[in-house]
């Protein structure tokens, strides 16, 4: 096996959540790109894919970032036959055979070989079942059905043809609640799409009492209210008070004494740490029946990513890391509470630059938000455009920040017991 070295500035990393029927996060599809043209001009496609994968799993530390989740990786025909696949950890990855790979005897033989080595296989972008693909379907564990070109009736018929194979069915490009409901009824086990990982506004949904209290508390912190005002805001919310005290004790602040009062918690933690936990509590309050929305983890990851990126900015582009974290985590609130972002921001008395970033994606914070969203979507062109407006950031720095943010979010998820 030849040694692989990565050209500087040529590694893009995106990811999209994959959920189970309980809408729990179980995997990410990892989106690798070698350049802004999605590797279209690379003469050695195998080496390009090998380069980015080797870097992602070594230099970027994606194994740690994935935590208990698996990583789905696209595999084209050339890369399928490369021994570079042996670089990948079999327990962590799912090899996603692209729809462009023909089911030749050689391909089938290679897939059998990979299965004996312990790799899990998936078949990507299935929209029909033709006879020549039957043997390949027998070899995979997961079938990914592309909902985009299918009508509800076509999806129903296709699913009926796939079920007898006894494979896990993954619905990809789930863009609406209606699509999710249909796939649930049809027996799909896994789901992927913008419905889960892209903010949408749900008309008519209102904030519950705890969320309103949290937003009020954050507004008080932003206006630098005194401790007495903060305590008064907590008093109508005993459950929230107990939760906050439990959290502050568990995460610790280097103190040897137990935190037993709100005043003590505020004094020991400080305003900045209290603000962080209020933000995370806001998202936790949006769970139901112990099930955490994948948007919660995405929001935490986005907030951390924006903070990490803000630390790398240079010159006049520098911004407060606290502001960057706030913009990241608040940017997904519309999807969680069902209100337009302008309505969420209005009562919080936030600094103008935060409001502008959230409502218009303007200013440096707005540029950071655009970059974070582009990184999540794995869109190289959008990433390149956003980076151009942010001195001190480049593709290498972005990918390191992405890996660190994923690792942080994974550890946060483990610590919270979810």
With tokens 């502050």, the residue in question is 248
Take residue 363 and report the two structure tokens written for it. Answer: 């200013």
Mean of the per-residue pLDDT values of the chain: 75
Residue 203 confidence class, pLDDT cut points 50, 70, 90 = very low
| Assigned domain for 35 exists | yes
416 has pLDDT over 50:
no
Are 320 and 360 found together in one domain?
Answer: yes
> Please, are residues 322 and 275 in contact by the beta-carbon 8 Å criterion?
yes
What distance in Å separates the CA atoms of residue 251 and residue 184, rounded to the nearest whole number?
37
Alpha-helical (H) ranges within 145-261 are 152-162, 177-186, 194-197, 209-222, 227-234, 238-251
Which residues span the domain enclosing 248? 209-284
Integer angstrom CA distances of residue 333 from 38, 83, 146, 295, 415: 31, 44, 28, 9, 23
> Please, are residues 332 and 302 in contact by the beta-carbon 8 Å criterion?
yes
The SS3 of residue 236 is coil
What distance in Å separates the CA atoms of residue 64 and residue 235, rounded to the nearest whole number?
40
The SS3 of residue 171 is strand
pLDDT value of position 60 = 55
Residue 322 confidence class, pLDDT cut points 50, 70, 90 = confident
337 has pLDDT over 60:
yes
Are 34 and 107 found together in one domain?
Answer: yes
| Assigned domain for 289 exists | no
Q: Which residue has the higher pLDDT, 13 or 272?
A: 272
pLDDT value of position 382 = 84
The SS3 of residue 67 is coil
Say which CATH number the domain at 75 has: 3.20.20.450
Residue 55 confidence class, pLDDT cut points 50, 70, 90 = low
Are 138 and 60 found together in one domain?
Answer: yes
Are 111 and 172 found together in one domain?
Answer: yes
| Assigned domain for 233 exists | yes
pLDDT value of position 197 = 60
Are 370 and 396 found together in one domain?
Answer: yes
Q: Which residue has the higher pLDDT, 323 or 273?
A: 323
| Assigned domain for 128 exists | yes
| Assigned domain for 3 exists | no
3-state helix, strand, coil in the chain (%, to 5): 55, 10, 30
Residue 117 confidence class, pLDDT cut points 50, 70, 90 = very high
Are 20 and 160 found together in one domain?
Answer: yes
pLDDT (tens digit per residue) in 220-277: 777 778 888 877 776 666 666 666 666 566 544 445 555 556 677 677 667 777 776 6
pLDDT value of position 352 = 85
Are 103 and 42 found together in one domain?
Answer: yes
Are 138 and 226 found together in one domain?
Answer: no
Are 52 and 193 found together in one domain?
Answer: yes
> Please, are residues 323 and 306 in contact by the beta-carbon 8 Å criterion?
no
Alpha-helical (H) ranges within 77-223 are 77-80, 105-116, 134-139, 152-162, 177-186, 194-197, 209-222
| Assigned domain for 135 exists | yes
13 has pLDDT over 70:
no
Are 63 and 176 found together in one domain?
Answer: yes
The pTM is what?
A: 0.60
Are 225 and 115 found together in one domain?
Answer: no
What distance in Å separates the CA atoms of residue 263 and residue 229, rounded to the nearest whole number?
11
Task: Report the domain count for the chain.
Answer: 3
pLDDT exceeding 90 applies to what percent of the chain?
Answer: 25
149: exposed, middle or buried (C-beta count within 10 Å: 0-12, 13-18, 19+)?
exposed
| Assigned domain for 321 exists | yes
What distance in Å separates the CA atoms of residue 217 and residue 142, rounded to the nearest whole number?
45
pLDDT exceeding 70 applies to what percent of the chain?
Answer: 66
Take residue 48 and report the two structure tokens written for it. Answer: 């390009």
Q: Which residue has the higher pLDDT, 7 or 105?
A: 105
Residue 301 neighbours by CB distance under 10 Å: 26
pLDDT (tens digit per residue) in 56-68: 565 556 666 576 7
131 has pLDDT over 60:
yes
Are 141 and 190 found together in one domain?
Answer: yes
pLDDT value of position 159 = 95
| Assigned domain for 1 exists | no
């Amino acid at each position: 096996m030849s040694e692989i070295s990565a050209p500087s500035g040529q590694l893009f990393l995106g990811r999209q959540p994959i959920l189970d029927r309980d809408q729990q996060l179980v995997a990410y599809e990892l989106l690798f790109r070698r350049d802004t043209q999605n590797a279209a001009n690379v003469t050695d496609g195998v080496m390009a894919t090998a380069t980015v994968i080797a870097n992602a799993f070594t230099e970027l530390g994606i194994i740690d970032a994935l935590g208990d989740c698996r990583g789905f990786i696209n595999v084209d025909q050339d890369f399928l036959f490369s021994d570079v696949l042996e670089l990948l950890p079999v327990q962590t990855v799912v090899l996603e055979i692209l729809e462009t790979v023909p089911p030749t005897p050689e391909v089938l033989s290679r897939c059998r070989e990979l299965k004996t080595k312990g790799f899990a296989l998936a078949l990507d972008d299935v929209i029909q079942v033709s006879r020549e693909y039957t043997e390949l379907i027998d070899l995979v564990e997961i079938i990914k059905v592309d909902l985009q070109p299918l009508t509800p009736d076509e999806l129903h018929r296709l699913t009926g043809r796939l079920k007898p194979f006894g494979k896990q069915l993954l619905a990809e490009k789930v863009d609406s609640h209606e699509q999710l409901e249909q796939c649930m009824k049809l027996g799909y086990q896994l789901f992927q799409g913008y419905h889960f990982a892209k903010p949408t506004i749900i008309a008519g949904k209102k904030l519950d009492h705890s969320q309103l209290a949290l937003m009020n508390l954050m507004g008080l912190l932003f206006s630098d209210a005194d401790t007495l005002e903060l305590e008064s805001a907590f008093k109508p919310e005993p459950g929230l008070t107990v939760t906050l005290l439990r959290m502050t004790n568990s995460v610790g602040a280097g103190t040897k004494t137990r935190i037993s009062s709100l005043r003590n918690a505020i004094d020991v933690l400080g305003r900045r740490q209290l603000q962080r936990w209020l933000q995370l509590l806001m998202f936790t309050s949006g769970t139901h029946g112990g099930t955490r929305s994948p948007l919660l983890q995405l929001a935490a990851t986005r907030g951390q990513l924006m903070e990490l990126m803000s630390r790398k900015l240079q010159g006049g582009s520098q911004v407060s890391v606290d502001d960057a974290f706030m913009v990241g985590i608040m940017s997904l609130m519309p999807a969680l509470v069902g209100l337009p972002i302008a309505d969420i921001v209005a009562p919080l008395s936030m600094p103008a630059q935060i409001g502008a970033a959230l409502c218009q994606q303007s200013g440096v914070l707005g540029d950071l938000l655009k970059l974070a969203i582009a990184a999540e979507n794995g869109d190289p062109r959008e990433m390149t455009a956003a980076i151009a407006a942010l001195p001190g950031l480049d593709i290498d720095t972005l990918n390191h920040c992405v890996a660190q943010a994923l690792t942080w979010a994974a550890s946060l998820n483990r610590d919270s017991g979810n």
